[in-house]
Amino acid sequence: MTQDTILITGASDGIGAVYADRFARRGANLILVARRAEKLEALAARLRADGGVSVEVIAADLSQADDLARVEARLRDDDAITGLVNNAGIAGEQAFVETDPAYLTGLIDLNILAVTRLSRAIAPRLAARGAGTLINITSVTALMPDGFTAVYPATKAYVLAFTEALQVELGGKGVKVQAVLPGITRTAIWAAEQMAGLPPHMVMDVEVMVDAALAGLDMGEAITIPALPDNADLDAYLAARAALRPNLSLKDAAPRYRVTA
Ligand SMILES: NC(=O)C1=CN([C@@H]2O[C@H](COP(=O)(O)OP(=O)(O)OC[C@H]3O[C@@H](n4cnc5c(N)ncnc54)[C@H](OP(=O)(O)O)[C@@H]3O)[C@@H](O)[C@H]2O)C=CC1
Ligand SMILES: N[C@@H](C=O)C(=O)O
């Protein structure tokens, strides 16, 4: 059996750093991507010493076209890479009318464009191999766009829809595709004062979150919500959505919209 090599974006901190730790414990070689090279190097040194796996570091700002292209090329061309964790993401937006448009562009570039392009770079190889892993970190805010800010949840709804579609396209070819929807997770994405104001029963430790997500991956789940006590609730939500399908595209407008002369 070939040894896995997993490329993890946003691996210098938080959720991505714990994925790196957990995949190293599973014996996978790693390629760690983020902007802060020194943090990546420190983590890589620890993982090499702990696990005997090979760990490479790529310093890249995935919201910048040149850096993104560099990582894309690696995913496209390196046959040793068997998995991708699209984890890098930012939040941090204020009310929509107050947020700098340039910040929103950067948010969309990282949370949507990079996820799409990196997935596109690796997917053909995984499909051709009939094996491999693609994990996309979205958020429970994908399911509650009315309960947060405007653009961040929309980026996460994109990643959820995108991943569900990839699951259909690639899942049948032997590729494991998983959307992970963390709830509030204790990481630096939350400013200390924000975190202090959150109800403790709603905040998950990052190690617990990642271990749960990997348990979901091992169970073959397409969508994993680490905090959701009963997966039947997710099944019911997906079934209600599917029940709309036969009536979403019809020749006639619904009677309530029909124009009478
Ligand atoms: N924590 C939470 O409550 C939740 C988080 N999520 C999602 O989980 C993912 C990880 O977040 P989390 O671990 O909490 O956040 P952190 O802020 O702790 O980590 C974010 C990671 O992304 C990297 N990153 C940020 N910007 C860029 C960039 N432009 N290019 C490359 N890497 C970048 C950071 O590294 P560096 O600064 O070195 O580039 C860091 O490694 C995100 O997609 C987030 O939306 C989803 C739901 C809840
Ligand atoms: N990342 C979190 C917000 O900042 C979330 O998705 O809940």
Q: What is the ipTM of this complex?
A: 0.98
Ligand approaching nearest to the C-alpha of 107: 1
Residue nearest to atom 21 of ligand 1 (CA): 10
CA 59/CA 67 separation, integer angstroms: 8
Residue 87 CA to ligand 1 center (angstroms) comes to: 6
CA 198/CA 219 separation, integer angstroms: 31
Q: Is the pLDDT of residue 34 over 90?
A: yes
Residue nearest to atom 4 of ligand 2 (CA): 91
pLDDT digits (tens, 9 = 90+) for 99-124: 999 999 999 999 999 999 999 999 99
Annotated domain spans of the chain: 5-257
Q: Which two tokens stand for residue 36?
A: 């802060």
Lowest-confidence range among 7-21, 224-238, 247-261? 247-261
Dihedral pair phi/psi, residue 93, rounded to 5°: -80, 155
Pocket test for ligand 2, best of 138, 148, 151 (most atoms within 8 A of CB): 148
Dihedral pair phi/psi, residue 9, rounded to 5°: -90, 150
**Known active-site residue 103:** no
Residue nearest to atom 3 of ligand 2 (CA): 91
Mean pLDDT of 165-189: 97
Q: Which two tokens stand for residue 80?
A: 């040793």
Q: Specify the pTM.
A: 0.98
Q: pLDDT band for position 184 (50/70/90)?
A: very high
The pLDDT of residue 166 is 98
Q: Which two tokens stand for residue 138?
A: 């979205």
CATH topology of domain 5-257: Rossmann fold (3.40.50)
